[in-house]
Structure formats: structure tokens, C-alpha cells
Amino acid sequence: MRDIRPAPSMVVGIDGSLAATHAALWAVDEAVSRDIPLRLVYVINRADGGGVDDHSRLASGRAALRATQRAVEKTGQPVKVETDIVWGTPLTKLAEESRSAVMVCIGSMGMKHACHGEGSVASALPGIARCPVAVICGSVHRPATFRVGAVAVEANDDRALQQAFEEARLRGAPLQAIASWEAEAPDDIIDGNRLAEAQLNRRIARWTRQYPDVSVEAIAVRGSVCRYVAENAGSIQLLVSGVRSRGCDAGKPAAVNCSVLTVNGNHL
């Protein structure tokens, strides 16, 4: 008998935190644009301890899901919302969810990042997920959904480039395609920058032809892409990178002060 795979969805990890709600709100446009459900998943980890019984854990989970669903419904967007409570560790369960998800979204804080030896869910999940992972940066005063600015992409990976063009188109945002290079001596700076820009323009030419409606700026930077994004975070709403990014650590928006979408080849 053939296995029946779950229908694709946009998965959001929910834990009752404001950061998780911001992630869900950010994911609404992603779900609507693909005409797929927004799946809100609350993970209960018995290893958390604290003397809380299962009944109380379930009650907390249901309350968190209801609150997030209400926030999503207030957007007025035509999105179908699904909710589920699962038992296990956040990293393991979200990795399992990624097998059928189009994307997994989590908040940059929350999800009990120090998970009994798992380390940060935001850092670990992009490397093992079977789909792109978005770690959404938002705050009480500046939710991720209200951020404006460019979509930036570390332009050394074609999968990341395609995803970045899609994100820029979806959000009506300009795109910054960034390539980094290193100079061995001060005299190499001008030639190095010119060469990096030429190589970058050749690399993105295919995508600019496919997405003529996206405004693209090619930027060559000496040193780290991560440093460039951090220094210009006020004008960047999202960084897209490959999981083996040379310039920025996957899933660490704190390092660049903006949301990070990591594209992993595992799902290909």
C-alpha cells in the first residue's frame, strides 16, 4: 500500500511567546500566496519538568494556539488555519514537520531554545530540516510583520537566490544580492571589488530575467556579508542564505538584527 503524505502546509512553531505569534503573522502571506494552510504546531516536552501535569500542559498548549489563531484571523487574510499539539522535543518534532512542510517558521526567541542538550532550535533546525526555515525577528515595539526594507541574499547559492527573488516579489520589496570577497593587500581592493561585482552580475542574470518585476541591486562587499547586513539592518527586513553560508550563521537573526530565511538542499 502506498504511503499517504500529508498535504503541504506552512508550519509555525508555537509556544505561547510573542515571538511565535510574530512568526505566525509573518507566515500568513507565505501561506496565502501558495494557497496552502497555515499549520500552527505546539510541542509539549515532558523533559521540561517543573512538576506540571499533562492536563495543565495541554491546557497551556490549547490556550497558546487559540491566541495565535485569533491574531492570524484579525489580519483578515483568506488563510486556512490548522492547529495541532504534539509530544516530544521542539527540534525533533519541527524537523519531522518539515518533511511535508513548504516552510517552517519560528520566532527568534521562544521555543525553549536551550532544550536539554539540543542547543538552540533556531541554530540547529535549518541544518536538518527538509524545507526552508525562517527565524523571524520581532519585538513588542517593532513586530516582524511591520518591518519594511529590502530582502537581502547571500548570492553564492542558486537555491537561496531563487527563494530571495520569490520573497522580494511576494513582499513588494527591493532585493539586495550580496557577494563577499577578501583582499590580500590594500592595492587589491579596487580590482577585487570590480571582479566580485562582475561575477555577481553574471550569477544573478538568470534570475533577473525570470523576475523582471523585482528591483535588484548587486552589492560586492569586502569581508563578511553578515557584517554588512548587521551594519545595514535598519534597511533590511529579511536575509536569505544557504545553510552552508560562508558569511552568516544559519538561523541566527541576532547576529544580523533581522529575520533569517535559510534554504537547505535537504528538501531537493
Tens-place pLDDT, residues 7-52: 899 999 999 999 999 999 999 999 999 999 999 999 999 887 667 8
**Separation between Cα atoms, residue 220 and residue 201, nearest integer Å:** 10
What does each C-alpha distance from 223 to 60, 242, 246, 259 come to in angstroms?
46, 18, 10, 21
Lowest mean pLDDT among 39-48, 109-118, 241-250: 109-118
The number of beta carbons lying within 10 Å of the beta carbon of residue 160 is 24
Q: What crossing angle do the helices spanning 158-171 and 18-34 adopt, rounded to 10°?
A: 90
Tens-place pLDDT, residues 143-180: 566 567 999 999 988 999 999 999 999 999 999 999 98
- Residues 220, 196 contacting (CB under 8 angstroms): yes
Mean pLDDT of 111-137: 75
**Separation between Cα atoms, residue 152 and residue 238, nearest integer Å:** 6
What is residue 117's predicted lDDT score, i.e. its pLDDT?
Answer: 36
Lowest mean pLDDT among 32-41, 73-82, 217-226: 217-226
Strands (E) in the chain, as ranges, are: 9-14, 38-44, 81-87, 101-107, 133-136, 150-154, 175-181, 216-222, 236-242, 259-263
- Residues 155, 177 contacting (CB under 8 angstroms): yes
> Cell 489580519 belongs to which residue?
75
What is residue 183's predicted lDDT score, i.e. its pLDDT?
Answer: 62
What is residue 147's predicted lDDT score, i.e. its pLDDT?
Answer: 66
Residue 106 is given by DSSP the state: E
Kindly report the CA angle at 201 between 167 and 256, in degrees rounded to 5? 45
What is residue 10's predicted lDDT score, i.e. its pLDDT?
Answer: 98
Mean pLDDT of 243-261: 68
- Judged by DSSP in three states, 249 sits in coil
Tens-place pLDDT, residues 170-218: 999 999 999 988 766 556 666 667 888 899 999 999 999 999 999 999 9
- Residues 111, 121 contacting (CB under 8 angstroms): yes
Q: Which domains does the chain have, with CATH numbers?
A: 9-136 (3.40.50.620), 150-263 (3.40.50.12370)
